[in-house]
Amino acid sequence: MYEITKKHRVSPAVEKAFPAEVIKQIWQVVGLMAKAGQIVTSPVAIIFSDDFTDDECYAMMIQGDVAPAQEFPIAYSGEKTFLGHAWILIVKDRPQTITIDFSEANDLPDELKNL
């Protein structure tokens, strides 16, 4: 599950809403957790805290009731316009790819819905 050799796919909406540096670090966390055997289900959800510093923000990976939620920092000193929306990202392990997309539960603005 979540083999690092699989292709990575990010939805156009996530690419537009999140800085590439943040997405890259999410992939790194998924890879590290998968390698350590800490991801035990698919899909997993990633939520973001509204707390941040000038050079760091915080996210949490949630695996439902099969494993404890895991908080992780994201080093990022740019504009944090992606925070404060209560957006949920879903990471799915598919046969050939691992994907990151918005959860259907999100109330996305029109410019992200139509991508």
pLDDT digits (tens, 9 = 90+) for 42-94: 999 999 999 899 999 999 999 988 888 999 999 999 999 999 999 999 999 99
pTM higher than the cut 0.95: no
Task: Give the per-residue pLDDT at 62.
Answer: 96
**If you ran DSSP here, which 8-state letter would residue 4 be given?**
T
Domain contains 111: no
Domain contains 1: no
Structurally, how many domains does the chain consist of?
1
Domain contains 82: yes
Domain contains 70: yes
Q: Which residues pair with 32 in a beta bridge?
A: none
Domain contains 113: no
Q: Which residue range(s) make up the domain with 80? A: 7-100
